[in-house]
C-alpha cells in the first residue's frame, strides 16, 4: 500500500503538466499594468460620483431634501420603466392557508401573496394568542441563507416577538428558502434591467406588500411598525425603512455600508439588488440611514464579521451622516447602534436579538416594567423547513421568466434608434488615449511592444503591439477571455501582414478585477455609468490613437459575445473610429442574452439598462454602417 501511495504522489506533478507556452503566447502573457491598478482606478472613478451628505442646518430644509430623494429613488430607480409601475399599481392578492401550532402564547398562520402579478411569496404570520387592542407589527426579512424563512435564528426572533404581543410576518426572500431556484439567482434580476424594467422592483414590492398585509391586520398599530433582518435582510431593512415611512423602527443587522466605504472595502461590494442602476445618482446609503430620522433606528454590526460590513469600517460613516439629522428632530436617542463581539462574526444570534428586544421595549413599550429584553428560551419550538413550507403555484414566475415576457416586442421603436439615444443609454464618454511604452521583446520573428494606454483621466488599459515582417495594415483584437486567449487568431493576422494591437478594455483580461469584476461594474452603474459605455469608448479611443500613431485606420476583431457587443456599440457610436469589424463567437440578437439565461456576474457589460428596450443588433449594425 505504501508503495502505491508513493507512486501516485510522484506521478501527480507529471499529470498536472501543461504544454509550454508558444513564443506568441509568452509575449501576450507579459503583464503591463501595475498590480491592483484596475481596482484602484475603479475606486477612483466611482468615489467622487457618490453624493455626499448635504450641509443642511434646518429641519425644514432636511425634510424637503429627504422627501425629494425618497420620491426620486422610488420613481426613477425602484419603479423605473412602465412595467415596473404596472406591477406597483396592481392589486395585491393574498391567500391565507392553514394555521399550525406554534408554542405557548402564539400560533403560525401560513399564507402566500403576490409581490407582483404571477410572482408569489410564501410567508408565515406569527400571531399572539392575546393581542392588545393596538398591536405592534414586525416584518422579518432574511439574507443569503439557503434556509430562508426556516433559519432558526429568524424563527426564534419571530417567536420571541409574538410572545411579547407583536405580530411578526416572516417572509421568504427571492432566491432563498422555497424560492431558491435558478431563475431567482440575484444576478438574473439584471435581465429585467436589459429590457428597461427595474430588476429592483420585485425585491421592493415583496417587502412593501408584506407591510400592507401586516397593517391590514384588525388590531395592527400603524404607529408601531418594525423591520429587522441580517445581511441581505439588513439591506432589505434599510431599503424599505428609508423609502417607506410606514416603518417606525428599523434594525438592519450587518447589511450595508456607504458606497464610498464599499469602494474601499471589497468585502462590502453588494449583489445586483444592493447596487442597482443609478441609485447613487440620487442617494447613498448614508442618506438612506439619515432618512430614518423622525422614527427609530438600531444599527447593528459585528466586530469580527467574516462576511462583510465589519463594524469598524461600515458603521462610523453612517453614524456621522445620521446623527446630525436625528438631532434636528431633537431625537438623538432614537438613533442607536450595537456592536456584537460574541461571537462577533456574521450573525443575528442571541446578543443581537436581545439588542433588538431592548430597542423595541424602549420605543414601542416605554415605561412598561414587565417588558423583558432577555430572550425567552424557545429552541424546542423551532420548526423544520418541511413544517413551514407553504404551497406555491407550479408556474410561479421568477426573474428569468419576467424578463422573457418583458422582452416581447422589443425594441419599442426601432425606426427611431439614433446615435444620440445610444450614447445616452450606454453613457459613453469621448476619450483620448495617451500611450506610455512599458517594454519591448522580440521572439524569433515576432516583435512585441508593450503599451499602457491612459484613457482620459479615468482608466489605464494594457495593449500588446505585435508585428512580424512587412506590415500591411493594423487590427485591434479584443477577446472575452483577455488578449492572452487570442493567440490563434492573432497568429493568423500576423501571418497576413497585420500589425496586431491586442487590447484588454476595462473589466476584461488583465484589466479585470478577478472575482470582483462584475461587482465593480455594478458599482460603476450605480453612480450613473455603464461598463458597456466605458469599454466602447475605450475601443474608439484606441482606434483614434492607432490611426494617428501608425497612419492606418485599424480593423477590429472581437472574440466572444461580450467584446463583440462592445465593439459593435463602439462602431455604432463612431463609425469612423475604426474600419472593418469582424466579430467571432458573437450573438446576432440581444434576446440571445435572455435565451442563454446569462447573468451579470459572467457578462457584466451585456446588461446595460434599457439597451434592448431601444436597440437590437440590427439597429446597432445600421448605425455602425451609416455615415457619422
DSSP result, 70-138: HHHHIIIIIT-SHHHHHHHHSPPPEEEEEEEEEETTEEEEEEEEEEETTEEEEEEEEEESS--SSEEEE
Q: How far apart are CA 198 and CA 74, in angstroms?
A: 11
Contacts of residue 309, defined as CB under 8 A and 6 or more positions apart, other chains included, come to: 234, 254, 255, 256, 257, 267, 268, 301, 302
Cell numbers linked to 592: 440571445
Beta-carbon neighbour count of residue 582 at 10 Å?
A: 16
Query: What is the pLDDT, as a whole number, of residue 162?
Result: 98
| 469: DSSP letter | S
Nearest to residue 142, comparing CAs of 154, 152, 159? Answer: 154
User: What b/e sequence results for 526-561 when a residue is b if at least 16 CB atoms lie within 10 Å of its CB, and e otherwise?
Assistant: bbebbbbbbbbbbbbbbbbbbbeebebbbbbbbbbb
Report yes or no: 66 and 185 within 8 Å, Cβ to Cβ: no
Instruction: Give the residues across from 1 on adjacent strands.
Output: none
Query: What is the pLDDT, as a whole number, of residue 3?
Result: 34
Q: Which helix (H) or strand (E) segment is 441 a member of?
A: strand 433-443
Q: Where along the chain do its domains lie?
A: 23-33+37-45+410-625, 90-366
Q: Which helix (H) or strand (E) segment is 227 a member of?
A: strand 220-230
**CATH homologous superfamily for 90-366?**
Alpha/Beta hydrolase fold, catalytic domain (3.40.50.1820)
Task: Please provide the CATH number assigned to the domain covering 23-33+37-45+410-625.
Answer: 3.40.50.1820
The number of angstroms, rounded, from the C-alpha of 393 to the middle of its chain's C-alpha atoms is 28
pLDDT less than 50: residues of the chain: 1-15
Query: What is the pLDDT, as a whole number, of residue 263?
Result: 85
Say if 23-33+37-45+410-625 and 90-366 have the same CATH topology.
yes
Amino acid at each position: 500500500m505504501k508503495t502505491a501511495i508513493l507512486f501516485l504522489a510522484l506521478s501527480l506533478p507529471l499529470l498536472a503538466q501543461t504544454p509550454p507556452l508558444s513564443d506568441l503566447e509568452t509575449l501576450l502573457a507579459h503583464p503591463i499594468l501595475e498590480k491592483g491598478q484596475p481596482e484602484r482606478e475603479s475606486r477612483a472613478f466611482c468615489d467622487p460620483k457618490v453624493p455626499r451628505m448635504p450641509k443642511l442646518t434646518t429641519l425644514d430644509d432636511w425634510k424637503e431634501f429627504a422627501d425629494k430623494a425618497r420620491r426620486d429613488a422610488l420613481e426613477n430607480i425602484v419603479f423605473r420603466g412602465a412595467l415596473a409601475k404596472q406591477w406597483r399599481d396592481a392589486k395585491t392578492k393574498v391567500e391565507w392557508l392553514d394555521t399550525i401550532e406554534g408554542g405557548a402564547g402564539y400560533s403560525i398562520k401560513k399564507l402566500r401573496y403576490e409581490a407582483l402579478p404571477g410572482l408569489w411569496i410564501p410567508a408565515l404570520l406569527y400571531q399572539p394568542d392575546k393581542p392588545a387592542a393596538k398591536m405592534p407589527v414586525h416584518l422579518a426579512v432574511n439574507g443569503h441563507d439557503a434556509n430562508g424563512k426556516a433559519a432558526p435564528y429568524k424563527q426564534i426572533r419571530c417567536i420571541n416577538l409574538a410572545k411579547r404581543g407583536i405580530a411578526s410576518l416572516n417572509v421568504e426572500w427571492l432566491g432563498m428558502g422555497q424560492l431558491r431556484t435558478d431563475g431567482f439567482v440575484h444576478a438574473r434580476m439584471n435581465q429585467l434591467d436589459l429590457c428597461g424594467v427595474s430588476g429592483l422592483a420585485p425585491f421592493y414590492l415583496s417587502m412593501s406588500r408584506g407591510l400592507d398585509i401586516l397593517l391590514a391586520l384588525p388590531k395592527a398599530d400603524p404607529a408601531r411598525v418594525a423591520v429587522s433582518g441580517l445581511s441581505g435582510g439588513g439591506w432589505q431593512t434599510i431599503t424599505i425603512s428609508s423609502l417607506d415611512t410606514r416603518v417606525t423602527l428599523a434594525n438592519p443587522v450587518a447589511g450595508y455600508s456607504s458606497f464610498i466605504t464599499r469602494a474601499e472595502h471589497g468585502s462590502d461590494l453588494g449583489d445586483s439588488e444592493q447596487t442597482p442602476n443609478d441609485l447613487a445618482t440620487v442617494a447613498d446609503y448614508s442618506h438612506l440611514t439619515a432618512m430614518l430620522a423622525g422614527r427609530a433606528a438600531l444599527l447593528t454590526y459585528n466586530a469580527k464579521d467574516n462576511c462583510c460590513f465589519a463594524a469598524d469600517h461600515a458603521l462610523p460613516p453612517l453614524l456621522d451622516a445620521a446623527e446630525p439629522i436625528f438631532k434636528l428632530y431633537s431625537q438623538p436617542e432614537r438613533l442607536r447602534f450595537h456592536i456584537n463581539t460574541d461571537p462577533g462574526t456574521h450573525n443575528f444570534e442571541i446578543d443581537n436579538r436581545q439588542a433588538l428586544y431592548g430597542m423595541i421595549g424602549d420605543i414601542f413599550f416605554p415605561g412598561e416594567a414587565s417588558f423583558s429584553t432577555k430572550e425567552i428560551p424557545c429552541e424546542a419550538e423551532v420548526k423544520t423547513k418541511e413544517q413551514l413550507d407553504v404551497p406555491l403555484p407550479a408556474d410561479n414566475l421568477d426573474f428569468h421568466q419576467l424578463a422573457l415576457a418583458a422582452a416581447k416586442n422589443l425594441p419599442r421603436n426601432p425606426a427611431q434608434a439614433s446615435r444620440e439615444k445610444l450614447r445616452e443609454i450606454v453613457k459613453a464618454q469621448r476619450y483620448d488615449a495617451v500611450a506610455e511604452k512599458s517594454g519591448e521583446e522580440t521572439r524569433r520573428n515576432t516583435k512585441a511592444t508593450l503599451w499602457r494606454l491612459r484613457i482620459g483621466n479615468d482608466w489605464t488599459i494594457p495593449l500588446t503591439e505585435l508585428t512580424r515582417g512587412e506590415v500591411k495594415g493594423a487590427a485591434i483584437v479584443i477577446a472575452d477571455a483577455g488578449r492572452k486567449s487570442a493567440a490563434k487568431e492573432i497568429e493568423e493576422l500576423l501571418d497576413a501582414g497585420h500589425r496586431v494591437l491586442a487590447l484588454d478594455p476595462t473589466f476584461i483580461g488583465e484589466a479585470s478585477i478577478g472575482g470582483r469584476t462584475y461587482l465593480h461594474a455594478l458599482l460603476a452603474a450605480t453612480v450613473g455609468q455603464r461598463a458597456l459605455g466605458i469599454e466602447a469608448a475605450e475601443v474608439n479611443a484606441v482606434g483614434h490613437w492607432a490611426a494617428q500613431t501608425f497612419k492606418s485606420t485599424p480593423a477590429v476583431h472581437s472574440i466572444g459575445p461580450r467584446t463583440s457587443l462592445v465593439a459593435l456599440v463602439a462602431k455604432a457610436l463612431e463609425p469612423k473610429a475604426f474600419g472593418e469589424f469582424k466579430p467571432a463567437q458573437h450573438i446576432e440578437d440581444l434576446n440571445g442574452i435572455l435565451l442563454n439565461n446569462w447573468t451579470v456576474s459572467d457578462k457584466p457589460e451585456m446588461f446595460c439598462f434599457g439597451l434592448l428596450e431601444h436597440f437590437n443588433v440590427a439597429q446597432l449594425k445600421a448605425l455602425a454602417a451609416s455615415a457619422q
